[in-house]
Amino acid sequence: MKPEVKTPLLVCSKEKIKEKYRLLSSCLPGVQHFYAAKANFHPKIIRIAVSLGMGLDVSSPGELRLAEENSLPGEKVLYTQPIKKEEEIALAKEYGVKALIFDNPQEAKKIARVWPSAPVLLRIKVENPFCVVNLSEKFGADPAQSKDLILFVRDLGLRIRGIAFHVGSQTTNPTPYFETLKIVRRLFNIAAGEGIYFDLLDIGGGFPIAYRQPIMAAESFFQPIRATLENYFPSTEIVSEPGRFIVGDACYLITKVVGKAIRKGMHWYYIDDGLYGSFSGKVYDHADYPIHPLKEGERKPSVIAGPTCDSFDVVYREVYLPELDVGDYIIFKSMGAYTWASASNFNGLEKPQLLIEEEEIEFQIL
């Protein structure tokens, strides 16, 4: 690596993003993928996702603007935030998004006030012991009460097109997907019994990537989901909202050791990114990124701490590292999703620069 690399630096591979999108498309043929902008909303990442043909899952006016900047037609945009301000609904209406998501009567009334015949999907909640990030406590209607909600929004005049769910992020076992799909099929049938014919199913995101622990091969993971979709929804339009799976393992972070101390007999290495920056994903997303010190040597229990003045800013405790010096680099892999996106400027520190490997990088590290 050239010595003048300005760290922290997030290096993302366009080829890897393409590879992950192709893998997902081959594992789930016929499903249209809407990249979840929240995973990494950097304009360079959005541009790549859109250039590959993905739509966008947006959850705020700022993310909707990214769709606009990339000239995405409304048909390729899903507004997935279940709770929205009226101003947001108005913007989504003006954009002509494919569908808005809701999960409760108050939200449905709000949507109907602003966009009387809006296309909507009802998000249901999912029981899932296999996810790392549960997304069904804060959001999602109880499937048992969904019939009433479906009839309610129909009577409000909204165009209810189908059901959405998110099994939870980093779901490492496919069972919750196909169990939920069975519930969704029942809801499609109940709606049809009332003369409401659903034509759209949103299976959300949640697809896993490997961090420090291995995961199932993608083909084995997706096979039962694909089979269930083909079996239960042969003629329904199906969309997904992958975030982590697309961008998570397409990026690595280069950090520099900026300080070193021995405390209670342990080496403490202070690096130039931390829990208030890219490693915010350790706090919010519970991710455990693989560590690659660019040095060999006997490994000793060590601590990696971030650059801020807060004692909370300890990134790894008791990890085994060779002895490092100030100025050495440490690389962290699988850092594309929920890292840069949730990093703050606490202590006046800048977020890492994000570069695209094939377009903007001259050195070879990994």
Ligand X SMILES: Cc1ncc(COP(=O)(O)O)c(C=O)c1O
Segment near ligand X (CB under 6 A); pick from 175-183, 200-208, 323-331, 349-357? 200-208
Count of positions (residues) in the chain: 366
Q: How many residues bind ligand X (CB under 6 A)?
A: 18
* Count of beta carbons in the 10 Å neighbourhood of residue 174: 23
Task: Give the 3-state secondary structure percentages of the chain, helix then strand then coil, rounded to 5.
Answer: 35, 25, 40
Residues 63-102 that bind ligand X (CB under 6 A): 80
Alpha helices in the chain (DSSP H): 14-27, 43-51, 61-69, 86-95, 105-114, 146-156, 175-193, 218-232, 244-247, 280-284, 357-360
Report the candidate in 177, 248, 183 with the shortest Cα–Cα distance to residue 31: 177
Q: Considering only CA atoms, give the Rg of the chain.
A: 22
- Contact between 246 and 17 under an 8 Å Cβ cutoff? The reply is yes
103 is a contact residue toward ligand X (CB under 6 A): no
Q: Which of residues 123-162 bind ligand X (CB under 6 A)?
A: 135
Given 57, 103, 107, 249, the residue binding ligand X (CB under 6 A):
57
> According to the binding rule CB under 6 A, does residue 165 interact with ligand X?
no
Strand partners, 260: 269
308: contact with ligand X by CB under 6 A: no
| Region 232-251 residues binding ligand X, contact defined as CB under 6 A | 241-245
- The three-class DSSP label of residue 274 is coil
Cβ atoms of 39 and 61 closer than 8 Å: no
State the residue number with the nearest CB to ligand X: 205
Nearer to ligand X, 103 or 313 (CB): 103
- Give the interface segment with ligand X, choosing from 41-49, 102-110, 202-210, 251-259 (CB under 6 A): 202-210
* Site pattern 12..51 for ligand X (x: CB under 6 A): ------------------------x-xx------------
309 is a catalytic site residue? yes
Q: For the CB of residue 210, give the shortest distance to ligand X in the complex, in Å.
A: 14
Catalytic positions, please?
Answer: 309
Enumerate binding residues for ligand X (CB under 6 A): 36, 38-39, 57, 80, 135, 166, 169, 204-207, 241-245, 337
